[in-house]
Amino acid sequence: MKKYKKVIITGGTNGLGFEMAKILLQNNYAVYIVGRRFDNFSNLKKNYKNKISFFYCDLSEHRHVKELIKSLGKISNVHLLINNVGGVFFDRKENENGFEKSLYLNYICHFLITKSILPNLIKNNLIINVGSNAYKYYNIDIKDLNNNNNYNFWKSYCRAKLLLLYRTFYLGESHKKKINCVYIHPGFLNTNFGNNNNFLFRLFWKILRLFYSFSPKLSAEIIYERIIKTEDYSRLNLKFFYIFNKKKDNNIRLNLNFSNKIYKKTILMIKKNKD
């Protein structure tokens, strides 16, 4: 794999992550996929063999993520990290370590993976945090990051995406000239997002996708052309990309002090809930 650029993709066996993996495999990348759908990985493996590796991981579980981090730490000279995995939980659920699952899957697992990968990135690196325009609908409650009070699936999801946006800003600002970090809204995509919930919820989401969704393949192609093909990633640092609406692209400008407060609070949560 030494002759290829290296990319790590979370949630890479389905939806947008899977489409990104296929494009990058075709364009001189060695792809390290993190996910749960080994069958999809096997189909890619047939065609790309030594260019692709698979790490099974339930990214909503802290124990699994800790084991994953040990494996990913062995990968040197990483060019690109795509924090893609995400999900929504209609009913409030906690993982084995007491983290609310929407918070963990959409934010904390990315926080931990990124933190562990930073020393292994090459100089011209790029971290892509796959977020959502839904970040804007709720503010962060710094005293209730774990969504213990008045749980609402949409509020929890939106807050997690906002936390990821602040994480993007904190990384790009505090590690300027060393780390290049962008946040993207990939569009409302026709994927399996939400299928882990009850029948009525899945039906509702299916109807929404039927009328309003975009193709994950098309989204992946645009991400590759507009972002990944850029030769100098330092030009992209702290950019917010709207994949299907280029006119809305902007620079991320947030409060660094509050970003730092979120960082410290997240670290405390992780230490408090560790095994």
Contact 171, 180 (CB under 8 A): no
pLDDT in tens, 4-59: 999 999 998 889 999 999 999 999 999 999 998 787 778 788 888 789 999 999 99
- Read off the pTM: 0.95
Extents of the domains making up the chain? 5-272
Confidence of residue 274 (pLDDT cuts 50, 70, 90): low
In our burial notation (b when 16+ CB lie closer than 10 A, e otherwise), range 208-237 reads ebeeebbebbbbbebbbeebbeeeebeebb
Whether 257 has a pLDDT exceeding 50, the answer reads yes
In the block, which residue shows the tokens 């093909």? 229
Q: Would you identify the CATH topology of the domain 5-272?
A: Rossmann fold (3.40.50)
Can you give the pLDDT at residue 53? 93
What is the pLDDT averaged over residues 119-142? 97
Helix (H) or strand (E) holding 128: strand 121-130
Judged against a pLDDT cut of 70, whether residue 261 lies above it is answered with yes
Token reading at 76: 């040197």
pLDDT at 1 over 70: no
The rounded mean pLDDT for the chain is: 93
Mean predicted confidence (pLDDT) in 132-142: 96
Per-residue pLDDT of 165-199, as tens digits, reads 999 999 999 998 899 999 999 999 988 888 888 88
pLDDT of residue 36: 86
